[in-house]
Structure 1
Amino acid sequence: MISSPLWLPATLMAGATQAWRTAIQRRVSHSLSLNGAGLVRYLYGIPFTLALLGLYRFSFPAPWPTLQPRFLLFCIAGGLAQIIATNLLILAFSHRNFVVGTAYSKTEAVQGAILSFLLMGERLAALSWAGVGCGVAGVMLLSTGGKRMGPVDFLRALGQPAAITGMASGFFFALTAIGIRRATQQVGGDDRILAALIVLCITVLLQTLILGGWMLARERGEIGRVFASWRVSGQVGLLSALGSACWFTGFATAPVALVRIVGQIEVVFTMAFGHFYLKERMRRSEAIGLILVVTGVLLALAGAF
């Protein structure tokens, strides 16, 4: 159920911000471990998420909303699912078949649509379902990097480690979205933006404690490198906070699957950045993939309105 038209610009902004953040975070990942690169997103995002909440409260003063008993449980579930999903995606890349791992991780939109229906009873119109399928097909085509991989090739690759971890990553990303949406529903009042920002602040704090605690126990030496990278990591934290605020607002105001399929517009921003800024040549398969992604977004929107 869509509770506010704000979900659409918030989701589009989330896609653009995430593409930007990913480009910068690549610089950090070269000097930090897997968990260290993940920690900077949460640790350096804390001051910016708190600033966003404070700025919103100052601009729109209102009584503090009540939090339902299961609020913290859903924040923990969503935050932990995101940590697992991110690590599984990187693990998929470490296997031999990078293409298959990437492609199958993009089944997140389909898995999210199914899980949100089973767990929350969210229903999509037929056009929106067509948009989900079209968008996933487009992202899969983009993931092939110009290589020919038909439907039979993808089915045969199901047993590969990259495919298994890729789909598992998509599954946990879908659970992340559902956990965040359920957490925002545990915040009282009609202000869904405030609910999203409250959930964001608590979730980021919990993620920092969970991942930071793990690293203190297992990768203590990496903590110093995380703090030493503050110049670049601070940028990652800022963009992560802005992007997550937009994602959480989308999840708070619209069905999970709808937000995720529109959010795949991120790949369009990424490809445009590579083509116009980095002067990279666009392959024919990439152009077709982009057309499919945009068509999927338009179909999803047509089914929503």
Structure 2
Amino acid sequence: MFGEWLWAVFTVSAAGAQTMRNAMQKELTASLGTVGATHVRFLFGFPFALVFLAIAVVATGAPPALPDAAALAWTAAGAGAQFVATALMLAAMELRSFLVATAYTKTEPVLVLMFAVVVLAEVPTPALIAAVLIATGGVLMMSWPGTTMAGSSLRAAAYGLGSAALFAMSAVCYRGGIQASASPSFIVAASSTLVVALALQAATVTLVLLVRRRGTLAAILGRWRQSMTAGFLGALASQFWFLAFALQGAAAVRTLALVEILFAQMVSRRLFDQRTTRAEAIGILLLVSGVALILAGT
């Protein structure tokens, strides 16, 4: 019985670690910029991913899974989408509160199902249509002029929704990469895919920074203590996400991940002393209700 819900345990654990990582990246954005703070999770997360893979190999006895062409293509697509999604999320956090920016990204489950309608030509049920309208109404209420920092609301909404769309794409691609793995162990398959993803992200962004923005790379290394912690939390969150994707569909995983909003509420109050307005609270409630309706109907 417990094994059937193991993916849920992984998901909630990932959401908790991701909330703390996002909080650290938000603070690093002020000194490193959006690209620099985004790169921290990849560059400093990669060594920890290697450690996680080594532990998985020793624990299961299965060798690391080398990706074939299909697995590499899925993983590379997910890695690229995740990088841009993270950058957009941090940009949204600079314009709105930590909690509201997190809530924007939590439209991701809605977008996953919308992609299914467009790409797979699936006919939406009345419940699905109602859920999309409710969740969209919540997003509009959070970004409506007149709430906190209204002048930047629409731009923050665009960044947040763009981030959600790309996170949705990366989740689907990562699950495809894990499923394409030849490893008999889901733990090793997930861990191997994570190592490949972080290797691609760390190498690509480091090369770009060396060519175009060496000062940013130097600043990242100068903040290595904070960066190391953010990297560890990022790798830990990703490890749990990948384990969940290995056991369950991306839509179910990312829907349960809405618990991150509750974690973000606590972080927003305790670390950043940011208060949620009444309109924002109602919007978040509508957003959560819409996605919960989707979960109930699937």
Shared fold (TM-score, shorter chain, > 0.5): yes
2:76 aligned partner: 76
Is 1:254 aligned with 2:248?
Answer: yes
2:7 aligned partner: 7
2:238 aligned partner: 244
Task: For 2:155 and 2:91, locate their aligned partners in 1 and report how far apart those are by CA, in whole Å.
Answer: 9
Deviation of 1:105 (Å): 5.2
Kept in 2: contact 1:262–1:300 (CA 8 A)? no
Is 1:184 aligned with 2:178?
Answer: yes
1:281-300, aligned counterparts within 5 Å? 283-289=277-283, 291-292=285-286, 295=289, 299=293
1:109-124, aligned counterparts within 5 Å? 109-116=109-116
Post-superposition CA distance 1:42-92 (Å, at most 9, x none): 111011111111112212212555644311111111111111222334455
Task: For 1:120 and 1:13, locate their aligned partners in 2 and report how far apart those are by CA, in whole Å.
Answer: 31
The alignment-based identity, stated in percent, is 34
Task: For 1:181 and 1:246, locate their aligned partners in 2 and report how far apart those are by CA, in whole Å.
Answer: 13
1:214 aligned partner: 208
Deviation of 1:144 (Å): 6.1
SS of equivalent residue, structure 2 residue 69: coil
SS of equivalent residue, structure 1 residue 147: coil
Q: Residues 230 and 133 (structure 1 numbering): CA distance in 2 closer, same or farther, change over 3 Å?
A: farther
Post-superposition CA distance 1:136-170 (Å, at most 9, x none): 6556655669839xxxxxxxx9xx66555544333
1:228 aligned partner: 222
Residue 272 of structure 1 is aligned with which of 253, 266, 275?
266
Post-superposition CA distance 1:105-141 (Å, at most 9, x none): 5543222223256657999998788667656655665
Task: For 1:161 and 1:281, locate their aligned partners in 2 and report how far apart those are by CA, in whole Å.
Answer: 20
Task: For 1:66 and 1:271, locate their aligned partners in 2 and report how far apart those are by CA, in whole Å.
Answer: 40
Which structure 2 segments of 5+ residues have no match?
A: none
2:29 aligned partner: 29
Q: CA RMSD in A?
A: 3.9
Q: Residues 121 and 239 (structure 1 numbering): CA distance in 2 closer, same or farther, change over 3 Å?
A: farther
Deviation of 1:242 (Å): 0.7
Residue 175 of structure 1 is aligned with which of 146, 169, 176?
169
Give the letter for the 2:19 counterpart.
A
| Total equivalences in the alignment | 292
Give the letter for the 2:242 counterpart.
F
Post-superposition CA distance 1:154-195 (Å, at most 9, x none): xxx9xx665555443332222111211111111124532321
Task: For 1:121 and 1:298, locate their aligned partners in 2 and report how far apart those are by CA, in whole Å.
Answer: 23
Give the letter for the 2:267 counterpart.
F
Which deviates further from its counterpart, 187-196 or 240-249?
187-196
Give the letter for the 1:59 counterpart.
A
1:85-124, aligned counterparts within 5 Å? 85-91=85-91, 106-116=106-116
2:198 aligned partner: 204
Q: Residues 123 and 15 (structure 1 numbering): CA distance in 2 closer, same or farther, change over 3 Å?
A: farther
